[in-house]
């Protein structure tokens, strides 16, 4: 079977990594790249850099990776759908939920594969957490808390921290728990003089009763990417910077020191940091999309519909912050 012919539009901060992976992905030939600004990072020296997505389509590609600023996702995705070309679109899927709905409808009508680049799903720590939750190792899940903070990235200009970073946490929380968001409340702040928010605190309720909270900002001098999943048997702590997953078990041995027992509440049990393979998340994401284009099951991609739901939750969080009212998503 011939290799799939892939195209890439966008050779910027994220596109350069897509270019690296696509050039070494088994079963895929990167046949054309496009970026109206050229190849600023020198990641595709063997290619003539085309001007736009129309030129990519003319190159006869089977699928396209879209790694351009969010404002351009809708127009490019619609061109690809009209041409019958499958696409992996970087997150967030679109600038607005209305644009996301257009993309979903167009790809469904064309009968082609569409996916969204919510890369955290492919982090080995969260992959392990999802598998262990499905196996019942934590029992009922009570709460998911995430912390995603760090300095402002120069690559972002057209969306705020909720749609850029917060969508990671919204997507991974819905995925690891296999629940949808039922409601959200939020507070945002603008501290760095930019038109979009650079700090958010989100609280939410999921469809199965799990409580969530997400702290996200572009204002911290240190970089943290933590997910804490608390359940009836203990807690998982996933650090997606190091791809480590640690299990803190509830204790089964009673604490005899009364003051300590009263202070701690739930007694502490064993602490285990799991050992497992740690493939690069971006490569795993690309392998999943390749397999989806080839029709292999079960599909492991983040679907366009899931990307649209994540964007809807992000917009609900922004609305909650603007109005001071909890937003229902039922």
**For the segment 270-320, what is each residue's pLDDT rounded down to a tens digit?**
999 999 999 999 999 999 999 999 999 888 999 999 999 999 999 999 999
Task: Answer yes or no: is 106 within a domain.
Answer: yes
Res. 27: pLDDT tops 60: yes
Residue of 142, 169, 172 whose CA lies nearest to 234: 142
Beta strands 141-149 and 63-66, pairing class: unpaired
- Per the structure, the count of domains in the chain is 2
Please state, in angstroms and as integers, the Cα–Cα distance from residue 205 to each residue in 75, 145, 160, 183, following that order. 33, 12, 23, 5
Q: pLDDT grade, residue 330 (50/70/90)?
A: confident
Q: Burial code of 247-285, b = ≥16 C-beta within 10 A, e = fewer?
A: bbbeeeeeeeeeeeeeeeeeeeeeeeeeeeeeebbbbbb
Res. 260: pLDDT tops 90: no
Same-domain check for residues 151 and 210: yes
Task: Answer yes or no: is 251 within a domain.
Answer: yes
Task: Answer yes or no: is 158 within a domain.
Answer: yes
Same-domain check for residues 270 and 137: yes
Same-domain check for residues 9 and 104: yes
Its domain, for residue 131, covers 121-279+311-328
Average pLDDT for the chain:
94
Res. 173: pLDDT tops 90: yes
Task: Answer yes or no: is 110 within a domain.
Answer: yes
Res. 155: pLDDT tops 80: no
Task: Answer yes or no: is 318 within a domain.
Answer: yes
Same-domain check for residues 36 and 107: yes
Task: Answer yes or no: is 48 within a domain.
Answer: yes
Task: Answer yes or no: is 306 within a domain.
Answer: no
Distance CA(73)–CA(156), nearest Å, equals 14
Same-domain check for residues 112 and 126: no
β-strand partners of 203: 185, 213
Element (H, E) at 322: helix 304-323
For residue 13, give the CATH number of its domain. Answer: 3.40.50.720
Res. 257: pLDDT tops 70: no
Is the pTM for the entire model greater than 0.85? Answer: yes
Same-domain check for residues 57 and 171: no
Same-domain check for residues 70 and 138: no
Same-domain check for residues 143 and 32: no
Res. 264: pLDDT tops 80: no
Element (H, E) at 114: strand 114-117
Beta strands 224-231 and 141-149, pairing class: antiparallel
Using a pLDDT cut of 70, give the percent of the chain over it: 94
Res. 143: pLDDT tops 90: yes
Task: Answer yes or no: is 40 within a domain.
Answer: yes
For residue 157, give the CATH number of its domain. Answer: 3.30.360.10
Same-domain check for residues 41 and 89: yes
Same-domain check for residues 244 and 132: yes
Residue of 63, 78, 64 whose CA lies nearest to 294: 63
Res. 23: pLDDT tops 70: yes
Same-domain check for residues 132 and 273: yes
- Laid out side by side, the sheet with 49-50 consists of 49-50, 28-34, 4-9, 63-66, 86-90, 114-117
β-strand partners of 249: 234
Express each pLDDT in 196-244 by its tens digit.
Answer: 999 999 999 999 999 999 999 999 999 999 999 999 999 999 999 999 9
Secondary structure string (H, E, C) spanning 39-66: CCCCCCCCCCEECCHHHHHHCCCCEEEE
Same-domain check for residues 35 and 183: no
């Amino acid at each position: 079977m011939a290799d799939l012919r892939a195209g890439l539009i966008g050779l910027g901060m994220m596109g350069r990594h897509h270019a690296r992976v696509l050039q070494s992905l088994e079963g895929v030939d990167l046949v054309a790249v496009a970026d109206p600004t050229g190849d600023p990072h020198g990641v595709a020296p063997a290619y003539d850099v085309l001007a736009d997505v129309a030129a990519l389509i003319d190159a006869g590609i089977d699928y396209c990776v879209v790694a351009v600023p969010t404002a351009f996702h809708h127009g490019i995705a619609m061109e690809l759908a009209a041409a019958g070309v499958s696409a992996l679109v970087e997150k967030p899927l679109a600038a607005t939920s209305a644009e996301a709905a257009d993309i979903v409808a167009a790809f469904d009508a064309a009968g082609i594969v569409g996916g969204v680049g919510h890369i955290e799903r492919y982090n080995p720590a969260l992959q392990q957490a999802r598998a262990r939750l499905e196996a019942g190792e934590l029992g009922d899940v009570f709460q998911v808390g995430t912390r995603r903070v760090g300095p402002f990235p120069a690559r972002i200009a057209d969306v705020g921290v909720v749609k850029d970073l917060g969508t990671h946490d919204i997507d991974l929380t819905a995925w690891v728990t296999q629940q949808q968001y039922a409601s959200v409340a939020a507070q945002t702040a603008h501290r760095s003089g930019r038109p979009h928010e650079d700090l958010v605190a989100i609280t939410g309720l999921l469809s199965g009763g799990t409580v969530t909270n997400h702290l996200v900002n572009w204002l911290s001098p240190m970089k943290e990417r933590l997910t804490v999943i608390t359940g009836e048997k203990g807690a998982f702590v996933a650090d997606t910077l190091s791809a480590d997953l640690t299990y803190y078990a509830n204790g089964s041995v009673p604490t005899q020191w009364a003051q300590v027992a009263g202070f701690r509440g739930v007694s502490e049990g064993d602490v285990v940091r799991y050992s497992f393979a740690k493939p690069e998340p971006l490569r795993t994401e690309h392998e999943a999309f390749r397999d989806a284009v080839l029709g292999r099951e079960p599909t492991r991609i983040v679907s366009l519909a899931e990307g649209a739901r994540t964007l809807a939750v992000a917009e609900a969080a922004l609305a909650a912050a603007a109005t001071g009212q909890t937003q229902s998503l039922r």
